[in-house]
Amino acid sequence: MENKRASALFTFVALSILAFVFLIPIGLVVMNSFKSRLYISSQPFAFPSSETFAGFGNYINGLTSSGFAAAFGRSVFITVFSVLLIVVCASMTAWYIVRANSAVTKLLYYLFVFSMIVPFQMVMYTMTYVVNKLNFDNLIGIVFVYLGFGSGLSVFMFSGFVKSIPLEIEEAATIDGCSPLQTFFRIVFPVLKPTAITVSILNAMWIWNDYLLPYLVLGTDDKTVPVAIQIAMQGAYGATDYGGFMAMLVLAIIPIVIFYAVSQKYIIKGVIAGAVKG
């Protein structure tokens, strides 16, 4: 017994140290975001002193100088509307595919599943061309592009769930005079809620953090948060404002931390479900 308690204590201490090590990278960025820019690359591990402390100056610079605030707004817009569109459209499509169960819908299903294994580099050049030709290279267009890329995994996950819903309830609704649209939104969609949450989380994490797709589709004028960060670092070589840059990194992480703190349970469940099915 004594032995067991000692080993539990040892594990606890070891995990505490490891947890601290895990937080160092983020802590380092937060710490440096409060130092004036000249002291960041020269002494990254020094705590801010009265001489090097910059208050919120870096945050003001980071938000104003490079259009980061606008980028933030764009990222929110694209993420929210893409996720909404994906959840509604992909669940409808998945339900239709399962219930119609014809040769055409089976083929469609396999096409969606196939798209999941294709790496982005395979289609990035031609996709950019098609999107530009169709004038989809704007904030509204990119939401539609995300529907196209997100539909593979989302249709796949919704289909898996729809298959497990008994048909009787839907048949009863049809007999009562419900159209397929009414049946879907009044009866099926509420049942799909757990999968809808999982699909939302997986897509939100992907779209919020995505760099290459918005960079290729929207370019550098309409930059999102990851694009703004990449440009701030690579765009003006030698003249990078490290202070503002650190503040940008912190600002990019904050929404993720809040999102995580609020819905941690769902996120971990969703990620496991996504991994097991994908």
What's the one-letter identity of residue 75? Answer: S
In degrees and rounded to multiples of 5, residue 57 shows phi and psi of -55, -45
SS3 53: strand
Binding of another protein by 16 (CB under 8 A)? yes
List the one residue from 152, 214, 243, 244 that touches another protein (CB under 8 A).
152
Cβ atoms of residues 131 and 141 within 8 Å: yes
CB count within 10 Å of CB 50 equals: 5
Residue 177 CB neighbours (<10 A)? 7
Among 157, 16, 2, 179, smallest CA distance to 87 is for: 157
- Helices 57-65 and 242-277 cross at an angle (nearest 10°) of 70
- State in angstroms the smallest separation of the CB of 203 from another protein: 13
169 binds another protein (CB under 8 A): no
| Tokens read off for 117 | 């294994």
Near another protein by CB under 8 A, which window of 49-57, 58-66, 186-194, 207-215?
207-215
- The piece of 28-36, 48-56, 57-65, 189-197 that touches another protein (CB under 8 A) is 28-36
Size of the residue set binding another protein (CB under 8 A) = 95
Does 258 engage in binding with another protein (CB under 8 A)? no
What part of residues 52-111 is at the interface with another protein (CB under 8 A)?
A: 89-90, 92-93, 95-97, 99-102, 105, 108, 111
Query: Cβ distance 203 to 82 under 8 Å?
Result: yes
Tell me if 140 contacts another protein by CB under 8 A: no
- Identity of the residue numbered 199: V
Interface residue with another protein, options 59, 156, 161, 208 (CB under 8 A):
208
The single residue among 45, 50, 103, 238 that binds another protein, judged by CB under 8 A, is 45
Selected range binding another protein among 51-59, 65-73, 188-196, 251-259, rule: CB under 8 A: 251-259
- Shortest distance, CB of residue 181 to another protein, whole angstroms? 7
List CB contacts of 55: < 8 A, sequence separation 6 or more.
Answer: 34
Q: Helix, strand, or coil here: 35?
A: strand
Least Å distance, CB 82 to another protein, is 10
Asked whether position 157 contacts another protein by CB under 8 A, the answer is: no
- Please select the residue that binds another protein; options are 87, 192, 229, 247, rule is CB under 8 A: 229
